[in-house]
Amino acid sequence: MCGIVGYIGKSHCKDLVLGGMQRLEYRGYDSAGFVFVNEKAACLSYLKRTGTVANLAKELSVFDEDGFSGIGHTRWATHGVVNEANAHPHFNCKGNIALVHNGIIEEHESLRNELIAQGHKFLSKTDSEVLVHYFSSLFDIYKSVKKATIELVKKIKGAYSIVVLIEELPDQLLVIRHNSPLVLGRQKKGFFVASDVIAFSDKVDEFAFMPEDSIAVINKNSIQLLDFSGKSLLPVWQESNLAFVDVSKDGFEHFMLKEIYEQKKVIDKIVNFYRLVGTDSKLSASDDLGNALKYQLDIEYQDRIWQQLGLSLKTVKNLKKINLIAAGTSWHACKIGQFFFESISNIQTSVYLASEFCYMPFFKEKDSIFIFLSQSGETADTLQALRLVKSHNVPTVVITNVPSSTMVQESSGFLPMQAGPEISVASTKAFSAQQSILFILANRIALELEKITLQEMKSAEEDLFMVSQVLEMAIENYKWEISNGLAEKYSAYDKYIFLGRHISYPMAMEAALKLKEISYIFAQSYPAGELKHGPIALIDETTPVVLFSALDEIIYKKLLSNAQEVKARSGHLVVFAFEGQNELIGLADYAFVLPKVNPLLAPLACTGVMQFFVYEITKRLGRPIDKPRNLAKSVTVE
Ligand code: M6R
């Protein structure tokens, strides 16, 4: 994971690099480091600290030296504990070459041993440090940056984006990309490089994504781009009109809370963005004519949505199988989406965990598509799965919140999530946005296949509007009780079981993930029907069982039996139920009761109040809610 920023040019680099690093903290925040060619001393100067970029920046602010070329790194530890020695930059033995790295170097141990045998001294436990020692020994042999780099990439395996600063070449940055994103930026006064364009989007006139397997040698006036054999490549510059939106907490105590409250707006925005063209006035003015006219407009719109997805109308009409791939919360949204595609579009759907998918045999199926869900569009597991599917010439569709992400660049088409920047590491509004988009997409496919009518499509949109209100209302209804006693009481338990069935099971998985991720309380989710096959042995009064109800009558009855099984063993039961489910509500030690909605949208209705409950529990425990330990917002290592 980790975030990299580099600058070289006519301006002082310290603030530019630190500013970029702050914007990349979502990629890791356990330690940070900055190195530059000190203009006064004409040597490399650096500072590394554990903790956030702000921590590092505070110390650097009293250090009045600066330079015109510098690189920064914000770390998410993979190899070696969190300490200053393992923070980047890393140096060669002479201390005159500095390197930052994002990714993982495979088989680094053998290279490290080779280098140690040659006399190199290592100061860290990281895989990254081998890169700088090896590069340094190659540079000693070849005396050429390009030759040394070409030899370096022949030897190393894994995923890497690397930036190197060499003391004797102060006017040059060396940049290498393989399986890990890097983007270049240029302005009149100099050049930037970073893991994500947001690091410098408002400071450059143009940016260019570095192609896979490429090397850039940047000096103050130009960039030379090469492939791994040394052949010249042309960067594809794009105008940068991506203003950086400095997202604030808007008075909320945490980003997570703000983002929980943004969900109604996000769902409404998604429905408005994706809704069919045409006005209801046409329908009511002259129903028949209105319908006919509107349908023509809709066909055009439908075509546009398939174009955006990179799918021909023929592909959509012939669809026999949908595959959904994601990680974490996005995977839970896919598990809910499966019910949408199977019951609304009547298309068989499989859901895969991205981190497992690449290691299973790939069966190419006719008339199938793969949809990848990722808030960030950078998750390495999901990206690798996308690359694998793409290599089989199967359509790859991405649903992401970040249109400039690597997944969008590499897929055949994408749908924007429209959730706005999600800053808190715990995904909240992205989860609601994903459920909403999958619901709309399932209805759109069903409309195209004539499985539903235009009127049913419209009422699906109305159902989403209604759910967005329920989601917000449920938070409002329970806010006082949660904040005044409930959260305190439930923060005292140190383990939880979450249960669901059918469409409410992914919701139970998501709730368990949310709780463990930010509160560090142990939480385990199970399909409620599995309870009797083992986990029931865990039931006692010290482990709350949180059960998510469903609105399908048969599923509800089955869940009711599971709730009775818990109570019969003196379990402590909390339920998320719906109005009228009195038997279940009666059994519970505490019940959150929500108005009835479209049964397929029941998880979405519960999403807000579940997140708020978890948030408040965590607040009582005094955890760093927006930046939980050991995590990062964007998981860019496999
Ligand atoms: O950016 P992505 O949606 O691909 O991220 C996937 C997971 O890493 C992410 O959802 C993670 O599980 C969240 N931190 C959960 O809140």
User: What domains sit in the chain, N to C, each tagged with a CATH number?
Assistant: 3-239 (3.60.20.10), 255-471 (3.40.50.10490), 478-621 (3.40.50.10490)
Counting ligand 1 atoms within 8 A of each CB, the residue from 334, 353, 356, 376 with the most, and so the one to mutate, is 376
The token pair at 630 is 């050991």
**Ligand 1 pocket, 509 CB below 6 A?**
no
pLDDT tens profile 504-549: 999 999 999 999 999 999 999 999 999 999 999 999 999 999 999 9
pLDDT of residue 455: 92
Closest C-alpha residue for ligand 1 atom 2: 374
Residue whose C-alpha is closest to residue 161's, from 379, 386, 4, 382: 4
pLDDT of residue 594: 98
Counting ligand 1 atoms within 8 A of each CB, the residue from 427, 525, 623 with the most, and so the one to mutate, is 427
pLDDT of residue 303: 66
310 Rama sector, left if φ>0, alpha if ψ -120 to 50, beta otherwise: left
Answer whether 559's CB lies under 8 Å from 514's CB.
no
Parts of the chain with a pLDDT under 50: 278-297
Counting ligand 1 atoms within 8 A of each CB, the residue from 1, 330, 398 with the most, and so the one to mutate, is 330
Counting ligand 1 atoms within 8 A of each CB, the residue from 29, 375, 378, 610 with the most, and so the one to mutate, is 375
CA distance linking residue 70 with residue 635, whole number of Å: 25
Answer whether 397's CB lies under 8 Å from 369's CB.
yes
**Ligand 1 pocket, 426 CB below 6 A?**
yes
Q: Which of 2, 13, 334, 606 is catalytic?
A: 2
The Å distance, Cα 374 to ligand 1 centre, comes to 7
The Å distance, Cα 328 to ligand 1 centre, comes to 5
pLDDT tens profile 34-45: 999 998 888 999
pLDDT of residue 288: 38
**Ligand 1 pocket, 404 CB below 6 A?**
no
**Ligand 1 pocket, 329 CB below 6 A?**
yes
**Ligand 1 pocket, 635 CB below 6 A?**
yes
The Å distance, Cα 248 to ligand 1 centre, comes to 21
Of all atoms in ligand 1, which is nearest to the CA of residue 425?
Answer: 14
Annotation marks residue 2 as catalytic: yes
pLDDT of residue 463: 98
CA distance linking residue 126 with residue 115, whole number of Å: 14
The Å distance, Cα 57 to ligand 1 centre, comes to 28
Q: Kindly report the pTM of this predicted structure.
A: 0.87
pLDDT of residue 633: 85
CA distance linking residue 388 with residue 362, whole number of Å: 9
Answer whether 103's CB lies under 8 Å from 406's CB.
no
Annotation marks residue 606 as catalytic: no
**Ligand 1 pocket, 179 CB below 6 A?**
no
pLDDT of residue 294: 43
Q: Which of 14, 429, 516, 633 is catalytic?
A: 633
Closest C-alpha residue for ligand 1 atom 8: 328
pLDDT of residue 42: 84
Cis ω on the peptide bond leading into residue 89 (within 30° of 0)? yes
Question: What contacts 375, CB < 8 A, 6 or more positions away?
Answer: 329, 330, 400, 401, 402, 417, 419, 422, 427, 430, 434
**Ligand 1 pocket, 330 CB below 6 A?**
yes
